[in-house]
């Protein structure tokens, strides 16, 4: 059996996401990097040379002037990834698209196209949109409640996957002599009528060499975890400590097993901040200076509003108890995150000012230290089943370079990361099985293809 290796993702948010209002001041980050395709190509290639599994493009579609720099002005994920597809050869290309404000047919078509353009390297990060204001950009008065958000998400993904299987892999003989382009017995329509979507199908696109794009999922609530365990091949999350990582990892794998899945077929990739120094103390000092440079109390008060549906916290007395009534504005936003913040304030009896200060307090990343310290810790988390891989934000390019130049060679020497790509698809490199076409499988096994959630039985 081959040794389990650490998976690597690179998150490309050049001018800085939430909590990083000033990382764009770094001399190595051009002010327009978030809309400059050459910047993305450069870092995708660097990650590819370092044998990363994937680049990851986060996304949102609602901003206020208080949004972080990268969010204020950024490229649409699938357009961006299509450009990266022709500028790279091996690295996986994962983009975020919301199930709340898209229809399954156009999602299936766009990701199916990216999968063909990239020759089997596409991945879809399924989100339900935390920013409640997005609804206003899609002809709706308000965002869906959680039950609807996650109900739509499950049905949406299942319909997309079914559309991707419209053609069996041998559907196109393309036999010029016989003048036969298509074998119609290998083309399958959908006729889906569910709770949220009606889709006749079929999709007008064949499958790629990995069968279907890889499905990732990010969402931390009970519903979010359940959705991930049920439909995802990979999970993006946060893991502040080893213990928290193990608890989340175990929870996801247990839920996946309860859905009859092999827990090894789903990879858990928390986001991680990595800081490398000449000594452990030096690394902690770099980490502290980096966090201080991003620290801006006024901006933090504004940004606190985001999980609460961009509620305006500047209207409150900073020295009064934390306004717990604000949680109501989070109900259709990032509720899990907002609830954690509110509970923290209540448990510790904090004022609004103290809550913001507590959130802003320097966070000691477990992956800060010399190259050996960081390598040791990553290996401990991998061996201890706190993760299958990590997603590294390319926040400060010099630090990313140190990770590539100093940490990865140690891990490679130990066999913890790959020396070269094993396969020519994202699925293959992540160790996730090829997605066999459901109709091919059903006819081979003499059974009916699996029904979709919310779908009416065939006889109705
Ligand atoms: C690690 C992580 C990454 C996420 N990335 C995005 C994103 O890029 N775009 C987005 O609209 N929502 C993103 N979300 C939000 C989720 O899709 C979801 O709407 C939100 O977390 C609220 O659901 P929850 O309470 O289940 O976590 C992310 C969530 C997590 C936990």
For the segment 354-376, what is each residue's pLDDT rounded down to a tens digit?
A: 999 999 888 899 999 999 999 99
Q: Report the range of poorest mean pLDDT among 122-136, 417-431, 446-460.
A: 446-460
CATH architecture of the domain with residue range 7-281+364-445? Alpha-Beta Barrel (3.20)
* pLDDT exceeds 60 at position 216: yes
Find out whether the beta carbon of 218 lies less than 6 Å from any atom of ligand 1.
yes
* pLDDT exceeds 70 at position 305: yes
Q: Look over the chain and give the mean of its residue pLDDT values, rounded to a whole number.
A: 95
Locate 217 and state its tokens: 């999922």
Residues 124 and 164: their CA atoms lie apart, in Å, by 13
Q: Give residue 3's pLDDT.
A: 78
Read off the pLDDT band of 349 (50, 70, 90): very high
* pLDDT exceeds 60 at position 326: yes
- pLDDT tens for 395-410 read 899 999 999 999 999 9
- What's the gap in Å between 219 CA and the centre of ligand 1? 5
pTM, full prediction: 0.95
Q: How many residues does the chain have?
A: 460
* pLDDT exceeds 90 at position 228: yes
The residue-averaged pLDDT of 78-107 equals 98
Find out whether the beta carbon of 129 lies less than 6 Å from any atom of ligand 1.
yes
Q: Report the range of poorest mean pLDDT among 174-188, 357-371, 413-427.
A: 357-371
Atom of ligand 1 nearest to the CA of 333: 22
Read off the pLDDT band of 451 (50, 70, 90): confident
Q: Give residue 454's pLDDT.
A: 64
Q: Whose CA is nearest to atom 1 of ligand 1?
A: 237
Q: Give residue 455's pLDDT.
A: 58
Domain ranges (residues) in the chain:
7-281+364-445, 296-360
Residues 453 and 445: their CA atoms lie apart, in Å, by 22
Atom of ligand 1 nearest to the CA of 222: 26
Q: Give residue 75's pLDDT.
A: 98
- What's the gap in Å between 94 CA and the centre of ligand 1? 15
- What's the gap in Å between 302 CA and the centre of ligand 1? 19
The residue-averaged pLDDT of 232-240 equals 95
Ligand 1 binding pocket mutation candidate from 147, 153, 220, 229 (most atoms within 8 A of CB) = 220
Distances (CA, A) of 407 to 7, 293, 422: 14, 25, 21
The residue-averaged pLDDT of 143-170 equals 96
202: left (phi over 0), alpha (psi -120 to 50) or beta: beta
**Nearest-CA neighbor of 217 among 205, 208, 230?**
230
Read off the pLDDT band of 453 (50, 70, 90): confident
Residues 74 and 411: their CA atoms lie apart, in Å, by 33
Find out whether the beta carbon of 96 lies less than 6 Å from any atom of ligand 1.
yes
Q: Give residue 448's pLDDT.
A: 87
Per cent of the chain over pLDDT 70 is 98
* pLDDT exceeds 90 at position 394: no
* pLDDT exceeds 60 at position 77: yes
Nearest 10 degrees: CA dihedral of 377, 379, 383, 389? 100
The residue-averaged pLDDT of 284-308 equals 94
* pLDDT exceeds 90 at position 456: no
- What's the gap in Å between 130 CA and the centre of ligand 1? 6
Read off the pLDDT band of 457 (50, 70, 90): very low
Query: Per-residue b/e over 388-422, b at no fewer than 16 CB within 10 Å?
Result: bbbbbbbbbbebbebbbebbbebbbeeebbbeebe
In this structure, the number of other CB atoms found within 10 A of the CB of residue 174 comes to 9
Ligand 1 binding pocket mutation candidate from 149, 224, 232, 269 (most atoms within 8 A of CB) = 224
């Amino acid at each position: 059996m081959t040794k389990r290796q650490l998976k690597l993702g690179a998150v490309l948010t050049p001018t800085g996401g939430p909590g990083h209002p000033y990382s764009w001041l770094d001399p190595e980050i051009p002010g327009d990097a978030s809309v400059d395709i050459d910047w993305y190509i450069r870092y995708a290639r660097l990650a590819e040379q370092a044998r990363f599994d994937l680049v990851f493009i986060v996304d949102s579609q609602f901003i206020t002037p208080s949004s972080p720099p990268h969010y204020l002005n950024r490229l649409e994920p699938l357009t961006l990834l299509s450009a990266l597809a022709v500028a790279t050869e091996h690295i996986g290309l994962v983009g975020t698209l919301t199930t709340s404000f898209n229809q399954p047919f156009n999602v299936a078509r766009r990701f199916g196209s990216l999968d063909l353009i990239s020759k089997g390297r596409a991945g879809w990060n399924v989100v339900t949109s935390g920013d409640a204001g997005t609804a206003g950009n899609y002809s709706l008065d308000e965002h869906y409640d959680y039950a609807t958000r996650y109900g739509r998400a499950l049905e949406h993904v299942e319909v997309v996957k079914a559309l991707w299987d419209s053609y069996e892999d041998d559907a196109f003989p393309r036999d010029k002599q016989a003048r036969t382009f298509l074998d119609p017995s290998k083309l399958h329509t959908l006729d889906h009528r569910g709770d949220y979507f009606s889709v006749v199908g079929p999709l007008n696109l064949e499958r790629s060499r990995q069968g279907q794009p890889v499905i990732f999922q990010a969402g931390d609530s009970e519903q979010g975890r359940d959705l991930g365990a049920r439909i995802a091949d990979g999970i993006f999350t946060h893991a502040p400590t080893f213990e928290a990582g193990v608890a989340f990892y175990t929870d996801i794998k247990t839920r996946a097993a309860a859905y009859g899945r092999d827990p090894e077929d789903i990879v858990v990739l928390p986001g991680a901040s990595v800081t490398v120094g000449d000594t452990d103390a030096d690394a902690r000092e770099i980490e502290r200076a980096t966090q201080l440079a991003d620290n801006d109390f006024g901006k933090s008060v504004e940004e606190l509003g985001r999980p609460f549906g961009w509620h305006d916290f500047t209207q409150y007395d900073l020295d009064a108890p934390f306004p717990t009534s604000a949680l109501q504005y989070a109900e259709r936003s990032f509720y899990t995150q907002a609830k954690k913040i509110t509970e923290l304030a209540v448990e510790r009896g904090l004022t609004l000012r103290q809550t913001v200060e507590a959130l802003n307090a320097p966070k000691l990343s477990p992956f800060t230290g010399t190259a050996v310290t960081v390598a040791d810790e990553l290996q401990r988390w991998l061996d201890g089943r706190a993760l299958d891989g990590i997603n590294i934000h390319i926040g400060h390019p010099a630090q990313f370079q140190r990770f590539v130049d100093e940490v990865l060679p140690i891990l490679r020497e130990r066999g913890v990361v790959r020396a070269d790509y094993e396969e020519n698809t994202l699925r293959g490199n992540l160790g996730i099985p090829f997605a066999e076409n459901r109709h091919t499988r059903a006819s081979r096994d003499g059974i009916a293809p699996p029904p979709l959630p919310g779908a009416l039985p065939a006889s109705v």
